[in-house]
């Protein structure tokens, strides 16, 4: 109950109906006694079930969720796919379309799809999944917690007010993606070519650790996204990218390494970029075509180009830019100098352009 209340407060105003559904899920998960059962490949689960056996070399689907308001406790058991060569038809370790369902404690792999679940207010927790596509969830109010995944892709959900917390995702190409409004992505560890992506209104990306190869670290598309207190390292593309997000907040992140901008904010009027610590890459912080944006109290050092680059109508105040290869701060004509900026040890002797630096 405390966990659901905590999610309720962080995600924001969900509405009485959605909250009631989440509380029902918490009560049923905590108090329902699952039926201990031996299961078989392709079996449809319609009641609370605690699995007592492994499913090895399933030729098709592993298990199918076939009813609302049930718990499927895999109890640490394995579900594995039949090895195949050449074309492999779609098969899911666990699939279904249901509401108020819990799926937990499984060891899954190697399937084409790991867990594919459609519906609302479902809880997927504490599973270990190795699959080409480890997890796909569609619906509202779902909680995805404490899972570990490996494979080509990662964990993706479409819908509103979904929660991703405490997952560890190691992927070749995918990462963690949320499409919808009011989603919360918190305290996850994501490693791979692509990190965390959110698309929608008022999504929150908080306290995650993201490291990667080619792709970007964290991306936010949509109004009022919050990206705060994350640690992002590596990645050839941008560390944190915000696009078309009026009123965005990018704050207190630690962003290092990589090839392009470490923080890129584009076409996001009124965005606030504050108290980030940035190092490495070609550009540190780049804010463009974002009228009324505020760049405040950031620290940028040891990048291979300019430390902070901002466009017209962006307010720059109280930042520290040091030991960068180019300018400390480059303000395009029309920049708003909020004062209190400092720059020293940068490669360009001007230190700052169109902004006064001490």
pLDDT one digit per residue (tens) for the chain, 358 residues: 345 445 545 555 434 344 444 444 443 444 456 789 999 999 999 999 999 999 999 999 999 999 999 999 999 999 999 987 765 678 999 999 999 999 999 999 889 999 999 999 999 999 999 999 999 999 999 999 999 999 889 999 999 999 999 999 998 788 999 999 999 999 999 998 889 999 999 999 999 999 976 667 999 999 999 999 999 998 777 899 999 999 999 999 999 988 788 999 999 999 999 999 999 888 999 999 999 999 999 999 999 999 999 999 999 999 999 999 999 999 999 999 999 999 999 999 999 999 999 9
Nearest to 354 by CA among 323, 325, 315: 315
**Domain-located, residue 288:** yes
Looking at the fold, whether 158 and 277 belong to one and the same domain comes out as: yes
Inter-residue contact 245 to 266 (CB < 8 Å)? no
* Residues 166, 185: Cα–Cα separation, whole Å: 9
**Domain-located, residue 202:** yes
Domain count within the chain: 2
* Residues 201, 314: Cα–Cα separation, whole Å: 23
Looking at the fold, whether 301 and 156 belong to one and the same domain comes out as: yes
* Structural domain harbouring 186: 139-353
**Domain-located, residue 69:** no
The tokens for 179 are 């499409």
Strand 218-221 to 196-199 pairing = parallel
**Domain-located, residue 153:** yes
Looking at the fold, whether 187 and 317 belong to one and the same domain comes out as: yes
**Domain-located, residue 93:** no
Strand 143-145 to 55-58 pairing = unpaired
């Amino acid at each position: 109950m405390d966990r659901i209340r905590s999610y309720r407060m962080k995600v924001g105003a969900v509405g009485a109906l959605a909250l009631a559904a989440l509380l029902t899920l918490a009560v049923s998960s905590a108090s329902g006694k699952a039926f201990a059962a031996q299961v078989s490949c392709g079996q449809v689960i319609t009641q609370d079930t605690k699995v007592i056996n492994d499913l090895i070399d399933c030729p098709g689907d592993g298990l199918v969720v076939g009813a609302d308001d049930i718990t499927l406790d895999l109890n640490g058991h394995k579900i594995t796919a039949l090895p195949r060569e050449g074309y492999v038809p779609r098969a899911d370790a666990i699939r279904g379309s249901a509401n108020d369902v819990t799926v937990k404690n499984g060891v899954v792999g190697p399937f084409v799809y790991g867990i594919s679940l459609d519906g609302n207010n479902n809880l997927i927790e504490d599973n270990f999944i190795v699959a080409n596509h480890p997890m796909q969830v569609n619906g509202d109010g779902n909680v995805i917690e404490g899972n570990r995944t490996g494979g080509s892709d990662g964990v993706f959900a479409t819908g509103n007010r979904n929660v991703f917390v405490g997952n560890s995702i190691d992927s070749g190409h995918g990462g963690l993606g949320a499409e919808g409004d009011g989603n919360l992505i918190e305290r996850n560890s994501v490693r791979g070519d692509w990190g965390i992506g959110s698309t929608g209104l008022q999504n929150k990306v908080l306290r995650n650790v993201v490291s990667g190869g080619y792709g970007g670290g964290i991306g936010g598309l949509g109004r009022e996204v919050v990206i705060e207190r994350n640690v992002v390292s590596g990645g050839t593309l941008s560390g944190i990218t915000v696009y078309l997000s009026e009123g965005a907040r990018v704050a207190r992140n630690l962003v290092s390494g990589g090839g392009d901008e470490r923080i890129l904010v584009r076409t996001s009027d009124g965005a606030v970029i504050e108290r980030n610590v940035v190092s490495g890459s070609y550009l540190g912080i780049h804010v463009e075509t974002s009228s009324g944006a505020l760049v405040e109290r950031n620290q940028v050092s040891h990048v291979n180009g300019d430390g902070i680059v901002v466009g017209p109508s962006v307010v720059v105040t109280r930042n520290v830019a040091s030991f960068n290869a180019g300018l400390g701060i480059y303000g395009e004509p029309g920049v708003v100098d909020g004062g209190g900026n400092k720059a020293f040890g940068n490669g360009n002797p001007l230190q700052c352009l169109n902004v006064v630096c001490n």
